[in-house]
Structure 1
C-alpha cells in the first residue's frame, strides 16, 4: 500500500457541489464562479443553490427565506446552557454542545434538508447568545423581518446594521459555505457514513473546525496583525518569523498555488470597512504583510488564504476574536450538510487502512518477571 499522509490527493467521492482550480485560483459552487456569486447573489440564494443544486425562482427564494427565519429561535434549555457557560467556555465547545442539544430536542424523522435549515438558522442565535451573555448584555430575540446576515449583526451588536455591513457579512458567509473535501467536511462524512444522524455529523465538523490549522486560523491571523502593531514593523516581523521557520498565519493552502480567490474578495471588502483608527491601522498592516509575504513565499506558491482577511472583516463587524471559528461554522454547515446528503445517496462506510510498522510474535512476559 502507498502511504499518503493527510490523505493528500486521495478522492473519496464524486461531487457536483464545489470545484476548486488551485493552480489558477478559481472556486465554483454548482458551476457558478465565486466572483459572480459574491458580486450578484446573497446568503439565502447561495445556500439554496448548494442544497438544492439550482438557483431558486423568486417564489422559491421567498419561501426559503421564511423557512430560515422561522427556525432562528432556540429553546430555554439551550439559552440557559449558553448563558451558564459563556464566560468560561471556549465558544466552539459551547456551539458543539448546543448543536448536540438541538439533536436531543429534534424528535422528527426524515426531511434531511429541513434539519440542515434548522441547524443553520439557529447557529447565529447561539453565537449571539455567547457574545452578549458573557458581556452582561441583554439577549435580543431574532428579528424575522431581517435577512440572515442583517439579523446576525442585529443580535450581536444590538442595533439594526447599515447596508454596507450587512452586505460584507453576507459575502463573507457565502465565501465560507463550502470548500470541497476539507478536514471538517471529511469529519462529517466519516460520521455520516456510519448512518449516524445529521446532528452528530455536524458536531464532528465543528470539532474539526475548532483546530488552529483549520477554522482557528482567522483568529490567529488577526492576532498577528495586532502583535505587529504598526506598518513600520511589518518587514522585520515577517522576515523574523520566516527565518526562524515559523508560519506566517493566513498564508498557504493545501490546494491553492496562487492567491485564494476568497482572499481576493475579502481584501476588497476589508478596505471598505475603515471605521476607526484601529481598524484602519490593522488593514494597513495586513496589506503590508501580504506584500512582504508574497515577495518571499510567492515563488513557492504560498499566498494569502481566506483566513488572512476574514478575521479582520469579522472584527470590524463587531464579533469578538474567539468567536471567529463559530462564524466560520455558521456558514460551513451548509457545505457540510450538502456533502453529507450527496454522500449518503451512494453511501459506503469510510474505513481506511494503516500500514503496520511494529514488531510481531513477541513473547508474553508475566507481570512479576517484567
Structure 2
C-alpha cells in the first residue's frame, strides 16, 4: 500500500482540518460547521474571515472591532504604490503582479521579524494581507488604464471598498452585496491546490508572506483559479458567433476544444457555489442584459444533458463579475483577494501542529550506469 501511486495525490489524506468540509456527492460545502448557503446569504466576508481564523462567528462587538482593525490596514506604503505603478507600466500579467505584491508586502510589515509560528503576529500579518491586497489590485487595474489609484475608505465594508477603489464610485447596495457574497463563496475550499501549496511552504517554517506568495502563484494556473477568465472569454465568443449557446458548444467540442468552468476534482454534482452565483447572475441580468446569463444556462443545460457535466464556481462567477463591470483579466486576482482569508486560516492550522510535508516519488529512471569522464564522451 505504501508504494501505491496516487497521481495528483487524488484521494490521499495528508492533514486534518476544522476549516471546511466538502461533500462532493451531495454538493455541500461547510465552513466550520456552517452551510455555505447560510453564510453566503446572511454573513459578511468579514464575519466569515473571523470565523475561519477564530473558530466561531463573532458577536456584534467583536465583529465591529475586527472590521475596524482590518479597515485601518487598507492603505499602502508609498513604496508599495511605486511598485504597483512599475508593474502596471510594465504591463505585467495581473496574477504575476499579485504574486510580486504579496511577497513585497512583507518588507513593510511591522511583524516581519516575528517567529514564523507566532500566532498573534500571524493574525496581524494575515489581517494586513487581507486588507492590502484589494487596495493593490484596484490600484494596479486603474494604473493600467491611465487612471490614478483611489485611496481606500475606512467607512465602507471590505467588498464595497474594493469596488469603490476600482471604479472611483461608491457601489450601490446590490453591487456591494453581490460582491460580498462572491468573496464569501471563494473564501475557502478545503485542500485545493493553492491552499496545499501554502501549507507545504509553511511546513518548512517559512513565514506567512512566503506561504501566501506560493498560494498566489499556484492559483494563477488555468486548471485552478484561472478558469473564470477563460469562461468569460468563451461567453464573448458565443456572443460574437451569432449562434445559440448549445450549437456553439457542440461545434467547439467537435473541434476538440475544452469548455472551461465544468467538472471538479471533488464535486460530482453542481458546485453549490455555482448554484448561488447563478442566482446572482440572473438577478443582475434582469436589471440589465440577460444574454450572459442565458448563454451560461444554455451551455450548462447542453453539457449536463450530453456529457453529464456540472458547472463549478468559475462558471457563474464569470457572468456575475462581467455584469458588475469588473475587467475580465482581474477575475482570478479577485479570487486571490477572497481566498487569502482561507489561506491564512490553513497556514495557522499548519503551524499549530506542524510536520514537514515531504512526499516521495517512485523512481523510474536508469540505474547502474557506468560513468564516463567528460573528455571521453
Class of the TM-score when normalised by the shorter of the 2 chains: over 0.9
Q: Does 1:336 align with 2:343?
A: yes
> Quick one: distance in 2 between partners of 1:272 and 1:23?
28
Match of 1:251 among 256, 262, 270: 262
> Quick one: distance in 1 between partners of 2:148 and 2:365?
58
Deviation at 1:364, TM superposition (A): 1.0
Question: 1:54 maps to which residue?
Answer: 56
Match of 2:108 among 105, 108, 111: 105
Tell me the alpha carbon deviations over residues 22-43 of structure 1, each in whole angstroms, 9 at most, x when there is no partner.
0010000001000111121111
Deviation at 1:244, TM superposition (A): 4.3
> Quick one: distance in 2 between partners of 1:129 and 1:94?
11
Question: 1:363 maps to which residue?
Answer: 370
Question: SS of the residue aligned with 1:101?
Answer: helix
Question: 2:132 maps to which residue?
Answer: 122
Match of 1:167 among 161, 177, 196: 177
Match of 1:263 among 274, 288, 298: 274
Gapped regions of structure 1 (runs ≥ 5): none
Question: 1:223 maps to which residue?
Answer: 233
Q: Does 1:67 align with 2:69?
A: yes
Q: Does 1:285 align with 2:307?
A: no
Contact kept, 8 Å, 1:231 with 1:284, in 2: the verdict is: no
> Quick one: distance in 1 between partners of 2:43 and 2:153?
22
Contact kept, 8 Å, 1:86 with 1:130, in 2: the verdict is: yes
Contact kept, 8 Å, 1:82 with 1:98, in 2: the verdict is: yes
Question: 1:351 maps to which residue?
Answer: 358
Question: SS of the residue aligned with 2:30?
Answer: strand
Please report the TM-score for the alignment, with normalisation by the length of structure 1.
0.96
Question: 1:150 maps to which residue?
Answer: 160
Figure out how many residues of one structure are paired with residues of the other and give that number. Answer: 366
Question: SS of the residue aligned with 1:19?
Answer: strand
Gapped regions of structure 2 (runs ≥ 5): none
Question: 1:15 maps to which residue?
Answer: 17
Tell me the alpha carbon deviations over residues 44-102 of structure 1, each in whole angstroms, 9 at most, x when there is no partner.
11111111110000000000110110000011111011112214101111111111111
Contact kept, 8 Å, 2:270 with 2:312, in 1: the verdict is: yes
Deviation at 1:136, TM superposition (A): 1.3
Question: 1:96 maps to which residue?
Answer: 99
Match of 1:199 among 209, 215, 235: 209
Match of 1:177 among 187, 195, 220: 187
Over the aligned positions, Cα root-mean-square deviation in angstroms equals 1.4
Deviation at 1:231, TM superposition (A): 7.2
Please report the TM-score for the alignment, with normalisation by the length of structure 2.
0.94
> Quick one: distance in 2 between partners of 1:107 and 1:174?
28
> Quick one: distance in 2 between partners of 1:227 and 1:180?
33
> Quick one: distance in 2 between partners of 1:131 and 1:318?
13
Question: SS of the residue aligned with 1:156?
Answer: helix
